[in-house]
Structure 1
Amino acid sequence: MSDDKADVDVLVIGAGVVGIYALYRAVEAGFSAVTLEAGDGVGGVWYWNRYPAARFDSESYTYGYIFSKELFDEWRWSEEFATQPEIESYLNHVVDRFELRRHIRTGARVVSALWDEADNVWVVTTAQGDTLRARWVISATGGLSVPNYPDIDGLNSFQGEAHHTGAWPHTPLDFSGKRVAIIGNGPSGAQLLPAIVDVVEAVDLYQRTPTWTTPLNNAPIEDERWQWLSDNFDEIATVLNTSPSGFLHEPAGKFSTDDSPEERQAFYEKIWKSPGFAKLTANYYDMTTNREVNLEFCEFLADKIRKIVDDPETAERLIPKDQLFGAKRPPFVADYFESFNKPSASLIALRETPIVRIDARGIETTEQHRDYDIIVYATGFDFGTGALTRMGVKGHGGLDLSVDWVDGPSDFGGFSAHHMPNFFFPGGPHGAGGGNYPRYSQDQVDWIMKTLIYAREHGFDRFEPTAAHQETWMTMIETLAPLSIFSAEHSHYYGANVEGKARKFLLNPGGRAKLHEILDGVSATHDFGGALSSSVRVGV
């Protein structure tokens, strides 16, 4: 499809899990393709997030690629939930296994993407000044690629070491005998604390809002387990490709009302011991819709925390009082609550003693000043829109994402937008619905590639969702958002963790089923709902 107006058919931005898959599919389909990656290696979030104990909280073999039985068999995961080094090695293996590295340019951060209406191409420029003209752009920058730093006075004045978990140095940090502050208690903060608590002199975890942290329940993958996974690959792939959550977890098969109060307590104990996200996906069917049963489960979890944490005051501070289970993304970790029983660990409740400032020596709260050697910002990301609004993306009709999305994104399918022809962003805002992230994004990439292949075969060179497409999708988002389990407006799913960011729901509350329904409806029109056209004709 390349012509003298385009340097490449498909330009992929980002070499993370989604970007690697998009590149694989583009090359497989016979398109000329190039990937631009800001980092000096591949892996995306698993390249940047290399802090101690960073690991999957989705089962390794369900998060990894399932497009190839041979790939599935030749990479044997060591644990149900693998750590970052193994994940990064796996993604490098995939890149080399399918000879994709020659298509990838690392150290190439995109700073501008401008639509050239006359030539029907995107002009994409990197920080080094290199420019590529692409017919189609797939921006696989993901929702967790722009670290969010807290808005604290004196943030840059600290003279010790300071790092965000999402931008961790490649040289390992030595925490031995150090005084450490961890600001944030989401998944990364909750993973880091147990990993360092036994080697530091002291570690203070600064908590703004407690979260429903539950055990990951990890385990090594033994020979018998691995053989079963390999033997049942086809069935596993079918479940992962079709289930609402994209997990293998066995549904509970019942509602809370099917059990007596005593039976529910026994069931909650089983859920407590279940792996990772099974605490949501294998729970009662009405756990996410019945407030009373969710509150009952929350009280069960609160009792667990009180039994684990020795100090009653600390235990109460660790128990959420303003959210149901699942309203925020729950961390799944090992030994988090147990860490607060160690003499080296302390909890700083920021609702009671807010941070006043950071200075050269450490952190001052309204209570006192504490000196530190290392400060860790485990404060999450500018979720959903962060990377897209920072890349200088300008479409036609005056569209400028840095301006037009300031009050929240408007899109179609969670991966495209009106006035952004030939530009896709799988894994972007409104893409995932609270399930296994790569499975949702794979669905989007597969649909995008089907569209590009169809366009090539039928002489089209332009795709742009119509205003009607976008309105239908956004109406669904806004109508169903209040019904979503992830509807706590103080969570990062609303952008609430980023100072000054508009409060807009950033997930797909209709889930995978609604995504497939809307996309299948567009595909069934054969011309993709009027979204496909040729540059020699009038566009949509």
Structure 2
Amino acid sequence: MNDSITDSVDIVVVGAGVTGLYAVHKLRGLGYRVRGFERGEDVGGVWYWNRYPGARCDVESVDYSYSFDEELQQQWDWSEKYATQPEIMRYLRHVADRFDLRRSYTFGTSVTSAELDERTLRWTVRTDGGEVVSARFCVYAVGCLSSAHVPDVPGVAEFGGATYHTGAWPHEGVDFTGLRVGVIGTGSSGIQAIPLIAEQAAHLTVFQRSANYSIPAGNAPLDEETRGRQKAGYAERRRLSRLSGGGSPHTGHPSRTFEVSEEERRAAFEERWELGGVLYSKTFPDQLTDRAANDAARAFWEEKVRALVDDPGSADLLVPTDHPIGTKRIVTDSHYYETFNRDDVRLVSLRGNAIERVDGGGVLLADGTRVELDAIVFATGFDAMTGAIDRIDVRGRGGRRLKDVWSEGPRTYLGLGTDGFPNLFNLTGPGSPSVMANVVLCAEQHGDWLAECLSHIDEYGYRGIEASAEAVEKWVGECRDRAAATLFPAADSWYLGANIPGKPRVFMPFIGGFGVYGDIIAGVADSGYKGFDLLTR
């Protein structure tokens, strides 16, 4: 009801992570009155919550940073190739302070609902703090990896020790000294945390359901000479990144895998192995579309990993056999595989011997084995892509809930809009490159497009904008078809929601590449927003 409204603004932005901060900065710069809400007590988004040991970005720091302000680029010094969570938080806090972004936010506050008034095309946004805000536009920047998933394991409440989730780590840290620790999950957060927990714990048991591909980060401190060279070349580095598939300047081999000799092929794989991390999956252009090419990359990877693990039996468990390499995001690690050479680390495969339950003293496996533990770490990931926005009761035309509209998979046009939900935008989420690319540049790409869009609406006197049903249907089909032409659907990954029981198995990101996507959305804007209805009443 109107009499319950506590504030009226032009735009509500939900989220104060990388994307939300840029959206607030960009839209406020156009003169809009913006209110931001963030459930955390500070900026940072995923980096505010993920403070587990070893938390680190798998995009090089020099690239995982904003490009919109040249002085910021030149004045900020990254300490190492892949920054840790504390350093990334320092950077985001610095950005928030430098551009006075905190004054637009209410922290420690969750948006609980957003309801469209079809007559005025305004959104009524409610929070758990009791605020009711009327906004012309509603912008969601809630993140793809911000809704922690805790599996339903019987008996967890009975456990006598402490339990933790990597996605909601205590800010004061955790001391595992002298404890028997169990880590459940070997995705990115588990693989990053396990080596450091092993150094501290009296004994570590790693419970692995499915092995993942990981590649050593090759992390190193950045000296003044390296930083100076990077800063001098920033313009070209950013140009190449915007043209690329993943938002970084590194380009793979121009030839297909078997168009070169075995010697040249191995040299290319070796170069990417030394580069470290996720870019290995793009060594050759056909690596994620041709199974034989993928097998060649996988064989080289396996050879490298088996050389790091002393026990052949452990190596057998650590080498994935259920998906092509790169179809789940390759993890960037620091001494992960070598950790299993320690006498105080045990690897338990849950394939065929699942966790039956947890009791007061530890974990019981299906075969009757009992693992005594003092602490359990759930490194079980997220309800990715849609989980965070699903927590909000978003109701559009006719009172339809966005969660219901997306019940069989997210339905967007360009990843930005959904029919039936005018003046609502979801940034760097499903239907866009998002998790397939450097999210900082994705944030700028979406933020700039949105700023141009809203300026166009106001310049021509429109009341709003809404994706057409036909455009949504075509975009959903295009995203589906592009994914189907690759090997990605062969993996039960969180890209498809396969880690969440009951979630529809739909490949959610746009897989065509960051540069290609940028051209597509720029073309839509240049055409006068083809595929969107510009609303006059």
Q: Secondary structure at the match of 1:340?
A: helix
Residue 482 of structure 1, CA deviation: 1.1
1:240-267, Cα deviation, whole Å (9 max, x unpaired): 2232221021432332233222332233
Paired residues of 2:257 and 2:293 also in contact (CA < 8 A)? yes
Matching residue's letter, 1:506: M
Matching residue's letter, 2:132: T
Question: Whole-Å Cα distance in 2 between the matches of residues 263 and 478 of structure 1?
Answer: 34
Paired residues of 1:78 and 1:220 also in contact (CA < 8 A)? yes
Instruction: Identify the residue that residue 293 of structure 2 maps to in structure 1.
Output: 293
Q: Secondary structure at the match of 2:281?
A: helix
Q: Secondary structure at the match of 1:88?
A: helix
Matching residue's letter, 1:372: L
TM-score by length of 1: 0.95
**Count of residue pairs the alignment pairs up:** 531
1:69-88, Cα deviation, whole Å (9 max, x unpaired): 10111210101100001101
Question: Structure 1 pair 299/489, CA: closer, same or farther in 2 (3 Å)?
Answer: closer
Question: Whole-Å Cα distance in 2 between the matches of residues 45 and 59 of structure 1?
Answer: 17
Q: Secondary structure at the match of 2:501?
A: coil
1:330-354, Cα deviation, whole Å (9 max, x unpaired): 1110100000001111111000321
Matching residue's letter, 1:70: E
Paired residues of 1:357 and 1:363 also in contact (CA < 8 A)? yes
Instruction: Identify the residue that residue 479 of structure 1 maps to in structure 2.
Output: 481
Residue 104 of structure 1, CA deviation: 1.0
Instruction: Identify the residue that residue 316 of structure 2 maps to in structure 1.
Output: 316
TM-score by length of 2: 0.96
1:204-233, Cα deviation, whole Å (9 max, x unpaired): 111111111111111111111111111122
Q: Secondary structure at the match of 2:490?
A: coil
Instruction: Identify the residue that residue 522 of structure 1 maps to in structure 2.
Output: 524
Residue 531 of structure 1, CA deviation: 2.0
Instruction: Identify the residue that residue 307 of structure 2 maps to in structure 1.
Output: 307
Instruction: Identify the residue that residue 492 of structure 1 maps to in structure 2.
Output: 494
1:253-289, Cα deviation, whole Å (9 max, x unpaired): 33223322233223322222113233133x1222222
Instruction: Identify the residue that residue 347 of structure 2 maps to in structure 1.
Output: 347
Question: Whole-Å Cα distance in 2 between the matches of residues 5 and 84 of structure 1?
Answer: 36
1:255 maps onto 2:256 in alignment: yes
Q: Secondary structure at the match of 1:113?
A: strand
Instruction: Identify the residue that residue 240 of structure 2 maps to in structure 1.
Output: 239
Question: Whole-Å Cα distance in 2 between the matches of residues 185 and 495 of structure 1?
Answer: 17
Question: Whole-Å Cα distance in 1 between the matches of residues 240 and 266 of structure 2?
Answer: 29
Residues 113-192 of structure 1: pairs in structure 2 closer than 5 A: 113-192=114-193
Gapped regions of structure 1 (runs ≥ 5): none
Residues 307-456 of structure 1: pairs in structure 2 closer than 5 A: 307-367=307-367, 368-432=369-433, 434-456=436-458
Question: Whole-Å Cα distance in 1 between the matches of residues 233 and 262 of structure 2?
Answer: 37
Question: Structure 1 pair 9/503, CA: closer, same or farther in 2 (3 Å)?
Answer: same
Q: Which moved more, 1:421-430 or 1:394-403?
A: 394-403
Instruction: Identify the residue that residue 197 of structure 1 maps to in structure 2.
Output: 198
Question: Whole-Å Cα distance in 2 between the matches of residues 5 and 339 of structure 1?
Answer: 54
Question: Structure 1 pair 527/18, CA: closer, same or farther in 2 (3 Å)?
Answer: closer
Matching residue's letter, 1:326: G
Instruction: Identify the residue that residue 503 of structure 1 maps to in structure 2.
Output: 505
Q: Secondary structure at the match of 2:523?
A: helix
Residue 439 of structure 1, CA deviation: 2.1
Residue 528 of structure 1, CA deviation: 4.7
- What is the CA RMSD across the aligned residues, in angstroms? 1.7
Question: Whole-Å Cα distance in 2 between the matches of residues 142 and 481 of structure 1?
Answer: 21
Paired residues of 2:258 and 2:293 also in contact (CA < 8 A)? no
Question: Whole-Å Cα distance in 1 between the matches of residues 315 and 529 of structure 2?
Answer: 58
Paired residues of 1:215 and 1:332 also in contact (CA < 8 A)? yes
Q: Secondary structure at the match of 1:177?
A: coil
Question: Whole-Å Cα distance in 1 between the matches of residues 515 and 117 of structure 2?
Answer: 35
1:335-390, Cα deviation, whole Å (9 max, x unpaired): 00000001111111000321000122211112411121211111110011101111
Matching residue's letter, 1:43: G
Question: Whole-Å Cα distance in 2 between the matches of residues 483 and 358 of structure 1?
Answer: 42
Q: Secondary structure at the match of 1:324?
A: coil
Residue 529 of structure 1, CA deviation: 4.4
Question: Structure 1 pair 296/241, CA: closer, same or farther in 2 (3 Å)?
Answer: closer
1:153-194, Cα deviation, whole Å (9 max, x unpaired): 123322211111111111110011111111110110000011
Q: Which moved more, 1:525-534 or 1:12-21?
A: 525-534
Residue 484 of structure 1, CA deviation: 3.0
Paired residues of 2:185 and 2:378 also in contact (CA < 8 A)? yes
Gapped regions of structure 2 (runs ≥ 5): none
Residue 61 of structure 1, CA deviation: 1.7
Question: Whole-Å Cα distance in 1 between the matches of residues 236 and 220 of structure 2?
Answer: 22
